[in-house]
Amino acid sequence: MTGHALHLRQRSAYLLAVGVAVACAACLHVFGRGDSLPVIGALPLLPVAAAAGVAGFVLCRLLEWCGLGPTSPLRVTPAGVAGILLLGGLLALPPIAIDIAFGFPKELNLPLPGAVFFYPSIALVAEVAFHLGPLALLGLPFGRGRAPGWLIWPVVLVEPLFQLSFLSGPFLMALLVFGNVSLISAAQLWLYRRHGFLAMIGLRWAFYLFWHIAWGQARLDLLF
């Protein structure tokens, strides 16, 4: 596959992911929500998600330019989807254990039914803010096609450090959260470099399905 065809397929996959995220934000807007949402508070989710989608498209183009774009064509297969779901479920087990052992705040997650629309949408905002933006910032100074692949590793730490800034609890709890979020971030960035944005956000969607949606509702009934 030529470089042009590879980039065209990856851009189409990106637009598909953005479409899903923006549609979910629109549904949340239509069906209503509370006065405050996790992370973004009272900000309206729909324009935030749309702005993230536009910014992410530009950032993906910049990453292609500096040599940090995906290296392989995206192939969506049943086995690949099952693998992403399995990995997302496995990565959700440590934070569930941390929640049971130490107890995250009750307001950590948005309950159903809003969670079904909120988390697929906020995932787009997270990917742009924690992965695409920092990676482009590090890669662009190297010039066209010259950015080294190892730049993904410092970017791995961006989201874990953000999470720690909002976390209150014992040191062991913070250490476990930092390790878990770092592992998820590393897996996502590897997937981005290997298969592209849809694979990266797909893992976050799978993780959110188990952690924020399934366990998020269960924890409200079991722990509070």
**Peptide bond preceding 134 in cis form (omega within 30 of 0):** no
Cα separation of 133 and 127, whole Å? 8
Please compute the mean of the pLDDT values over residues 146-151 and round it to a whole number: 95
Please compute the mean of the pLDDT values over residues 104-131 and round it to a whole number: 93
Q: What's the predicted TM-score (pTM) here?
A: 0.94
Annotate 172-184 with b (16+ C-beta within 10 A) or e (fewer): ebbebbbebbbeb
Residue 102 structure tokens: 């130490």
Radius of gyration of the CA atoms of the chain, in A: 17
The average confidence (pLDDT) of the chain is 92
CB atoms within 10 A of CB 210: 19
Cα separation of 134 and 154, whole Å? 9
**Domain spans in the chain, listed from the N-terminal domain onward:** 3-222
pLDDT at 23 over 70: yes
pLDDT at 31 over 70: yes
Going by pLDDT thresholds of 50, 70 and 90, the confidence category of residue 4 is low
Quote the distance between the C-alpha of residue 109 and its chain's center: 15
- pLDDT number for residue 33: 61
Q: With contact defined as beta carbons under 8 Å apart, do 155 and 172 qualify? A: no
Per-residue pLDDT reduced to its tens digit, 38-54: 888 878 899 999 999 99
Per-residue pLDDT reduced to its tens digit, 52-98: 999 999 999 999 999 999 988 778 889 999 999 999 999 999 999 99
Rounded to 10 degrees, the C-alpha dihedral 55/57/58/62 comes to 130
